[in-house]
A and B are shown apart, each in its own frame.
Chain A
Amino acid sequence: SQQGEEDPQALSIQEGENATMNCSYKTSINNLQWYRQNSGRGLVHLILIRSNEREKHSGRLRVTLDTSKKSSSLLITASRAADTASYFCATEDDKIIFGKGTRLHILP
């Protein structure tokens, strides 16, 4: 089955900087989703991008999808301390499959 794999595994940046996380997957997809998980909390859906879309925005979030490279990126602009969390990409086959996530830490 296919699986999203995030890169980097961990990322620390200064507050106010932009954070970019990448996701690669193996086979064709209908859509790709990004989720955030704060420590000890449930997964929260951020953005869903469909296979026929190349870019999508939501507030400070920007997601791109390159189906030829089987990759996606999540950009968080003007990062804040509250953005500290783990971020997961997920693809869907007969069920949603999550990658291992990127742990993002925003430094004050």
Chain B
Amino acid sequence: SAVISQKPSRDICQRGTSLTIQCQVDSQVTMMFWYRQQPGQSLTLIATANQGSEATYESGFVIDKFPISRPNLTFSTLTVSNMSPEDSSIYLCSVLTGTSTETQYFGPGTRLLVL
């Protein structure tokens, strides 16, 4: 199993500013992902955080807006840049682990409100 923590748990930010969300896992994992869940919507995959290389972004998401770092196998950050009210959402870190059976674990999420 994997225990995931995120910081901050919630924040209220002003338009035009940036926020960096941290994700810490209690064990080394190969696959880490960042998701967004906008109010009343489903989870949307933002990107796969690759250790030692640039993140792999899904369609509709770009590095300039959501830069991601993955310095090692237990830690990643997601930055939401130049925020607008449309970025108000829950941001979740997730890891995929296991050998014979892959299991996905989610962090508690970061609730972001942009004014």
> B94 is contacted by which of A33, A42, A44 (Cβ under 8 Å)?
A42
Q: Are B109 and A95 in contact (CB under 8 A)?
A: yes
> B45 is contacted by which of A40, A44, A48 (Cβ under 8 Å)?
A44
B44 within 8 A of A: yes
- Hey, which chain A residues are within 8 Å of B45, CB to CB? 42-45
A39 within 8 A of B: yes
The main secondary structure of chain A at its interface with chain B is strand
In the complex, A29→B109 CA distance in Å? 21
- Hey, which chain A residues are within 8 Å of B109, CB to CB? 95
Count A-B pairs with CB separation below 8 Å.
42
Query: How far apart are B79's CB and chain A's nearest CB, in angstroms?
Result: 19
Report the stretch among B10-18, B30-38, B63-71 that lies at the interface.
B30-38
In the complex, A34→B6 CA distance in Å? 25
Query: How far apart are A92's CB and chain B's nearest CB, in angstroms?
Result: 9
> A42 is contacted by which of B37, B41, B48 (Cβ under 8 Å)?
B48
The main secondary structure of chain B at its interface with chain A is strand
Chain B residues with a Cβ closer than 8 Å to the other chain, count:
16
Q: Are B41 and A43 in contact (CB under 8 A)?
A: no
In the complex, A68→B35 CA distance in Å? 31
In the complex, A33→B43 CA distance in Å? 9
Q: Are A45 and B48 in contact (CB under 8 A)?
A: no
Type the 1/0 row for A81-94, where 1 means its CB is closer than 8 Å to any CB of B: 00000000010000
Q: Are A48 and B42 in contact (CB under 8 A)?
A: yes
Q: With contacts A42-B33, A45-B43 known, what are 7 further pairs, Cβ within 8 A?
A: A30-B40, A33-B43, A35-B42, A40-B31, A41-B31, A43-B33, A98-B104
